[in-house]
Each structure stands twice: as structure tokens, then as C-alpha cells.
Amino acid sequence: MSTQLLLVQALNGLQFGVLLFLVAAGLTLVFGVMDFINLAHGVQYMLGAYLGASFAAWTGGFWAGLVLALPVALACGLVLEVLVFRHLYDRDHLSQVLATFGVILFLNQAVRAIWGTAPLQVPMPELLTGGITLMPGLQYPVYRLAILGAGLATAGLLWLLVERTRVGALVRAGATNAPMVAALGVDIRRLFMLVFGFGAMLAGFAGVMAAPILSVEPGMGDTVLILAFVVIVIGGIGSVRGAFLAALLVGLIETLGRSLMPDLMRLFLAPSPARQAGAAIASMLVYIAMAAILAVRPQGLFPVRTG
């Protein structure tokens, strides 16, 4: 593989990683603070993409679609929390898994009924079309760099919110010892609702940003959800910093693995078997990395301190 292609794939991996972080950040807070397994978090990413596509088509501009999609994604998350999820907080994890899986099935069918099964395409904002020359003979799309920048900026703002504000202190305390926070007079249910709605909005934001480079279609959140769970397990449940670093790691492994493994397998196999074996191994690399990390650090790279 040439140096240029390696650089492109590394940037693609980082860009994919920040999208994973936007999804995983809300998921790790919900899991860490509320001890709630929400399999339906991926459909909130999908809803964000559909809302962004619809509002962009309605207003005629990507930016207006983004601005309108975020509060609606937040509202959808709050409605789900009020109607479904708050009734599951005191139930066991199996009940949460089964109920949120039902929400996935319901929302996927609702999306098919409202928008149809054909993929939607969202045009890139005109301001971010074209490419930037990274080295002679190599241009990288401006929009993908914008996704990377937006993800890093969001990560910075989220860090400030969690580490430097009173609400963030309550969230961190809730992730450490929720019963103690409730005993001190904090309305833990309202805190849960705030965390849940904010996580839904982050997932929706990731969906809107991904819409111009991916096809918007039913079920698009399923793969992202699986990788988001890998991210929070590697990073440490409840840890925003861990989710950020683990998302970048997973993004790089996922992207570079799919690019490099077929070439590596050609050193040992004929071209056709090498492509098949390389693709099969590449699809397992993220999970192999997760198993290796957990063997050394069972609580993840940056576990939240408890006690």
C-alpha cells in the first residue's frame, strides 16, 4: 500500500472514529450513570440521519436541516424516555435488552412506513465541497475533514461540560454512585432524563453529519450500535475520555484493517483466497483487539472510579 493511500485510510479511520464517539458518548453516559442497556441508541443515529435528510430537502440547505434536526432528535429521545425507558430503569438488564430491541423493530418499521425503503441521498453543503491538497497528488475531501473537526470540537465541549460544570459534576457523581446522589437531594430521574436526551441528540448529530457520505436507509444504525458498544467496553463504561480514545482506536482498526489485511494475506496466499481471508480477518480485528485489551484491563482503558 502506498503512503498516500495509507494516509487517506488513516484519516478515514479517524473520521469514522469521531462519528462513533458521538454515538458512544451518549451510550456510555446512559449505561454508566443509569446502568441502563439501551439497544435502541443506534436507531436514534438513524433518526438523526432521516431528520437531517428531510429537513435539508424541505429547506433546501444542509445547514438549516442540521439546525432543525438536532432539537427534534432531542425531543424524540425525551419522548422515548418518558413513554418507554423510564419504566425500565428498575428492571433487570434482560428486560431492558428485550424492551429496547422491540423499540428497534418498531422504529425501523416506522421509518419504512414514513420514508420508504429506498435509500435517501443528502447533498453535501456547497461550502464544504471539493478537496484539500495534503501532499502532491493527494487531495482529501473537505467535508470529511469537517466531520473530523466537528467531532473533535464536540468532544472538547463535552469534556468541558462533564468536567467543569455543576451538571457535569452530578453526571460524574451519578456514574460513580447514583443512590448517594439521590440521597443528597438531587432529582435523579430528571438527571437521567437530561442525560438520555443529550445522548439522543449526540447520536442524531452523528447521523446528520454522516448522511452526505453514507446512504440513509432503514437499519443503518445497527452496525454503528455494535461498534459503539465495543467502544464503551474498551474505553471503560461511563468514561467519556475512554469513549473518545477507544472510538478513535476502533475507527482506525476498522478502516485500516479492511484496507491492509487483503494485501498482507497476499504474502501467504494467492490473490483470490487472500481477498477472502483478508476480508474475514478484517471483520474480526476490532473484536480481537477488544478481547486483548480486556484480558489486560478488564474494566477498560479508563474505567470510572467507584466507591
Q: What is the pLDDT of residue 264?
A: 83
87 bridge partner residues: none
Distance separating alpha carbons of residues 40 and 80, to the nearest angstrom: 10
Lowest mean pLDDT among 83-97, 131-145, 181-195: 181-195
Residue with cell 468536567: 163
- Mean pLDDT of the 123-151 span: 85
* pLDDT band, residue 305 (cuts 50/70/90): low
Considering only residues 154 and 32, tell me which one the structure prediction assigns the higher pLDDT.
154
Considering only residues 205 and 34, tell me which one the structure prediction assigns the higher pLDDT.
205
> Is the pLDDT score of 88 beyond 70?
yes
Considering only residues 32 and 122, tell me which one the structure prediction assigns the higher pLDDT.
122
Tell me the C-alpha to C-alpha distance, in Å, between residue 84 and each of 78, 198, 300: 10, 17, 30
131 bridge partner residues: 141
Instruction: Fill in the amino acid letter for 94.
Output: L
Which of 22, 1, 300, 12 is closest to 153 using CA atoms?
22
Evaluate the CA torsion angle 188, 194, 198, 201 in order and state its sign: positive
> Is the pLDDT score of 181 beyond 90?
no
> Is the pLDDT score of 75 beyond 80?
yes
Distance separating alpha carbons of residues 174 and 267, to the nearest angstrom: 51
Pairing type for strands 138-141 and 131-135 reads antiparallel
Q: What is the pLDDT of residue 1?
A: 59
Lowest mean pLDDT among 72-86, 125-139, 197-211, 274-288: 125-139
> Is the pLDDT score of 208 beyond 80?
yes
Q: What is the pLDDT of residue 175?
A: 63
44-54 pLDDT, tens digit per residue, is 999 999 999 99
Residue with cell 503512503: 3
- Mean pLDDT of the 138-149 span: 88
Query: What average pLDDT is seen over the chain?
Result: 86
**What backbone torsions phi and psi does residue 189 show, to the nearest 5 degrees?**
-65, -40
217-269 pLDDT, tens digit per residue, is 998 888 888 999 899 989 887 778 888 999 999 999 999 888 888 888 888 87
Q: What is the pLDDT of residue 17?
A: 92
Vertex 54: Cα angle to 73 and 80 (nearest 5): 25
Helix (H) or strand (E) holding 132: strand 131-135
